[in-house]
Amino acid sequence: MDSTPILQEALQVLRDGGVILYPTDTVWGIGCDATNEKAVARVFEIKRRSEAKSLVLLASDLDMVAKHIREIPSIAIDLVEVNDAPMTIIYPGAQYLAPNVIAADGSVGIRLPLVDEAAAVPGRLTAGAFCRELVRRLRKPLVSTSANISGEPTPESFAEISEQIKSAVDYVVPMPLGAGASGRSSQIIKLGLGGEVEILRP
């Protein structure tokens, strides 16, 4: 399956303020343009989740992170460079994002999707590579929250995603793209400007 038309369709939906269901380098996610407040509100509505709980975002690279974080703690660069597993970093000082993706303390969780070259299939993008390319073309961070109703188990595969979720989004990324979502959640690390490191999920 050629991933180019899929990327184009998903990108158009996102640019139009829509919500997509797509495979990430971890689990299947619900996503939208993280700078579009109305689209983000729809994600909360679909998940039946309180807006008091912030959402994880995907970025294509650290340059994109730098545009939306006032000051990147230096340790974040080291963590990203040595990282070999999906890792969400909660950064202080979020900016230029929809207010409803930012936590009450002004922080936001961002992950750079891992690209598993070993799992690549000729002519197809892996889920991680698909996410990176989609975000790169969008030129904005992408909301990435698990594809389940809040409080229900996180689906480990597409087959476990409820029809309620599938029917609520504007576009479902078809599979296979190559290697799909792994079904495993990322580790979560919170950083402070003073070099503080707090591991919230190993």
Min mean pLDDT across 61-65, 84-88, 194-198 is at 194-198
pLDDT band at 22 (very low <50, low <70, confident <90, very high): very high
Q: pLDDT tens-digit profile of 149-180?
A: 998 988 878 889 999 999 999 999 986 554 45
Residue 51 pLDDT > 50: yes
pLDDT score of 198 more than 80:
no
Distance CA 202, CA 189 (A): 8
pLDDT score at 71: 87
Domain count of the fold of the chain: 1
> What pLDDT score was predicted for residue 43?
96
Per-residue pLDDT averaged across 49-63, rounded?
A: 89
In this structure, are strands 108-111 and 87-91 parallel, antiparallel, or unpaired? antiparallel
Which pLDDT band holds residue 101 (cuts at 50, 70, 90)?
A: very high
Distance CA 144, CA 159 (A): 19
Instruction: Tell me the residue range of the domain where 21 lies.
Output: 3-201
151: domain CATH number is 3.90.870.10
Residue type, 8: Q
Cis before 176 (ω within 30): yes
pLDDT of residue 148: 93
